[in-house]
Amino acid sequence: MGKRVGMEVAIAAAEAVALCNIDVAAVYPITPQSHIAEHMADIVHDGRIDAEFITVESEHSAISACAGASAAGARAYTATSSQGLMLMHEILPIVSAMRLPVCMANANRAVSGPLNIWNDHSDIMPQRDSGWICLFTENGQEVIDLSIMSFKIAEDPEVMLPCVVNIDGFQLTHMIEPFELPSQAEVAKFLPPRKPFAQLHPDNPISMGCFAMPDTYAETVKAKDVALRGAKKVVTRVFADWAKRFGRKYNVVETYKAKDADTLMLTMGSMGETASAAVDEMRKAGRKVGLVKLRLWRPFPVEEFKAAVAGCKTLIVMDRALSTGGAGGPVATDVKSVLYGEKKKPRVLNVIAGLGGRDLAVRDFENMFDLASKKKDETFEFYGVRE
Amino acid sequence: MNPVQNFEIFAPKLVDRKEYFSSGHRACQGCGEVLALRHILKALGDDVVVANATGCMEIISSGYPQTAWEVPYVHVAFENAAAAASGVEAALKALRRKGRIADRYVKTIAVAGDGGTADIGLQALSGAMERGHDMIFFCLDNEAYMNTGIQRSSATPYMAATTTSPAGQAIPGQRTQKKNVPEIMVAHRVPYVATACPSYPLDLISKVKKAAAVKGPSYIHVFSMCPTGWRCASEITIKIGRLAVETGVFPLYEVERGKYRLTMEVPEKLRPVGDYLKLQGRFRHLTPSDIEKIQDQVNREWEILLNKVECLQPW
């Protein structure tokens, strides 16, 4: 078994990746990701792992170097946040189209402007259509576990797609928590060195990243979508394997006191824990409320999500980003379209909250439940914004 | 340029017979870039991995399901050939060290056009050179964004007409001077920097071989004639390249650890630039006084280069 340790979550993320026998890491520092990059540098510079650490001049080059490294057959890793992820944006769909299993940690942070270094999900949402597997973490233990699993999922021959593990900036990255760190031997058994489908080497010259005319482009787009949808099966399989080996069970959609609930709230990321506390409080007061937490955001776990919300009357979707000028938050609009064809569906209310690091306490989640019970229509609204 | 005596006898020893860039690609007739690429790959041989930027050479060579590349090749995007090559180089190093690929030295090269080098790709190039990756970066300079339709780049020469620097009534063509990327590379303390032109294939090949022998970064700026964009006949492309060199518009030199050396025979007097300009439609609008102005600039740059050749010592 692994050992119980206490450390900052960002440090733990780097420690977890260090267990994964990575070959190349290319990282550019950005708050609140920097501790991952710094600790990764410490690990490489102390010779604890045998990897190339490229201190690139930008996030754009970080992801480009990872693409090159992965194409050459290496297990490549990067970490970023906010503006850095936005700078990578151009390359993200290329990495997935080339079917390169690059793994990345994203310390979720609001995007500029105004400049804001604190947490919300407005950095990852513009990337959601990039063809990456997209996971959200709730606590330090999940960061460790999902970081390691992300390589296994991404490199599966059925998948071969990049994967991003979202870690709420500061609220999670800078927490000091106790958790179990698996041993090197256990991880090595779970995750053998990468076996690339194809790699850049003169022993077998191939061309990668070719351009496609209209007669083949659409086929590649569809192939990527089929692979990404199919990745859910592999995610579930890897989660099950992990549970067997390490005793910690994960689901693509988690529920909390949801079975008999008439009102459910949906969250992603670290807010789930605070929301759980609010559910506990409200249950004590006899209110039938519960929680649904999306761990897997892309591919969207349609069936599991529908099963999780079946039977509830009201679903409050908490979004930590806004599709400006659109129909609300990106999670809510997705959820609504998933439920649209259902005969029996809950009323979906969308609350935009916790933007740019705005604190949300247990009381705030209770307020959101209250707000929903009073509302008649299905519009979205900002929570706690001064007019 | 020193003429090679008995070229027919020596040529097979000087140039690899094997083709690493196959025929049947989609380059325009008379393309200087593709010719340069062919020579470059011949000079490098088998053990090489190519990272290519988006641009003419990527579009003409990699249209799925075909490829003109007989060596491992990757294209990611327009501005990141140097960054992608950094990753390839690091991966080859790590995988070789860990025994996961053959224990054999493989050179990584990055290839980009002048836009992917001097403009949008400059940051990635600067980063890769500064970090000292073991790679050769080739700029195939055809002096504009030819792939997108002949728009000006920062490598477009003064007064040249392009679709975004047209020879208008008020402004006659490109308003700025050509960006000197080789100098920028020298300032990065890149151990080997050279200029080359496919009109001088043996010079080009020997420079590529020199760069390949460097265990670290090197940079070769290849003047690549473009009949389409330069509005000239495709059969005079080699001649145009030679005229660029003979007029001093594009001198051939190399910089080894800061020491400049001309690799062309130093003429007593350069040919007049008019000889070079008058063959190309992009300079058709120039007046005699415009040509005079360009001549003055070429003379000045030539003097600066000669001074460097004479005075600068290796570091």
The DSSP secondary structure of A176-221, one letter per residue, reads EEEEEEPPHHHHHHHSPPP--SS---TTS--EES-B--HHHHHHHH
Angle at B141 between CA B137 and CA A89, to 5 degrees: 65
Structure tokens at A268: 């992603």
- Report whether B241 contacts B197 (CB < 8 A): yes
Residue B9: per-residue pLDDT: 72
Task: Check pLDDT > 80 for residue B33.
Answer: yes
- The pLDDT of residue A324: 95
**What DSSP element (H or E) covers B135?**
strand B135-141
Residues of chain B positioned with their CB less than 8 A from the CB of A94: 76-77
User: What local confidence, expressed as pLDDT, does residue B1 receive?
Assistant: 46
Cβ-proximal residues to A190 (8 Å cutoff; 6+ apart), any chain: A148, A152, A182, A241, A242, A245
Does residue B209 have a pLDDT over 60? yes
pLDDT at B221 over 60: yes
Distance from A207 to chain B by nearest Cα, in Å?
5
Number of neighbouring beta carbons within 10 Å of residue A147:
29
Cα-Cα end-to-end distance for chain A = 53
Cβ–Cβ under 8 Å, residues B86 and B64: no
Average pLDDT of every residue of chain B: 95
Please tell me if residue A202 touches chain B, with a CB cutoff of 8 Å.
yes
Six-digit token string for B45: 């041989």
Q: Token digits for B127?
A: 């980063």
pLDDT at position B137: 98
Residue A205 and residue B92: Cβ atoms within 8 Å? no
- Beta bridge pairs of residue B240: none
Mark yes or no for CB contact A54/B90 under 8 Å. Answer: yes
Model confidence band, residue B7 (pLDDT cutoffs 50, 70, 90): low
Kindly report, residue by residue over B35-55, the tens digit of the pLDDT: 999 999 999 999 999 999 999
Q: Is the pLDDT of residue B5 over 70?
A: no
**What's the confidence (pLDDT) of residue A371?**
85
- Please say if the pLDDT value at position B2 is more than 70: no
Q: Confirm whether pTM is higher than 0.95.
A: yes
Q: How many CB atoms lie within 10 A of CB A189?
A: 11
- On whether ipTM exceeds 0.90, the answer is yes
Comparing CB atoms, the residue among A24, A61, A201 nearest residue B94 is: A24
User: Which residues from B are below 8 Å from A26, CB to CB?
Assistant: 86-87, 90
* CA B249/CA A299 separation, integer angstroms: 56
Residues of chain B contacting residue A221, judged by C-beta atoms under 8 Å apart:
none
Q: Are strands A347-352 and B253-256 parallel, antiparallel or unpaired?
A: unpaired
| pLDDT value at B3 more than 90 | no
Give the Å distances, CA to CA, from A130 to A72, A162, A378: 22, 10, 29
Measured distance CA(A376)–CA(B241) in Å, rounded:
75
Partners of B195 in beta bridges: B221
d(CA A110, CA A338): 26
List C-alpha distances in Å: A67 to A14, A18, A99, B211, B235.
20, 19, 10, 25, 40
pLDDT of A88 reads: 98
Share above pLDDT 90 across residues of chain B, in percent, rounded to a whole number: 93
Asked if B94 and B136 touch (Cβ cutoff 8 Å), the reply is no
Give the Cα separation of B127 and B174 in Å (integer).
Answer: 28
Is B103's pLDDT higher than 50? Answer: yes
H or E element, residue B117: none
Predicted confidence at residue B39, as pLDDT, reads 96
Judged by DSSP in three states, A339 sits in helix
Nearest to B25 by CA among B16, B40, B42, B38: B38
pLDDT (tens place) for every residue of chain A, 387 residues total: 678 999 999 999 999 999 999 999 999 999 999 999 999 999 999 999 999 999 999 999 999 999 999 999 999 999 999 999 999 999 999 999 999 999 999 999 999 999 999 999 999 999 999 999 999 999 999 999 999 999 999 999 999 999 999 999 999 999 999 999 999 999 999 999 999 999 999 999 999 999 999 999 999 999 999 999 999 999 999 999 999 999 999 999 999 999 999 999 999 999 999 999 999 999 999 999 999 999 999 999 999 999 999 999 999 999 999 999 999 999 999 999 999 999 999 999 999 999 999 999 999 999 999 988 788 777 889 998 998
Q: Which residues of A touch B110 (CB under 8 A)?
A: none
What tokens appear for A254 in the block?
A: 């988690």
Q: Is A294 in contact with A268 (CB distance < 8 Å)?
A: yes
Rounded CA-CA distance A199/B66 in Å is: 18
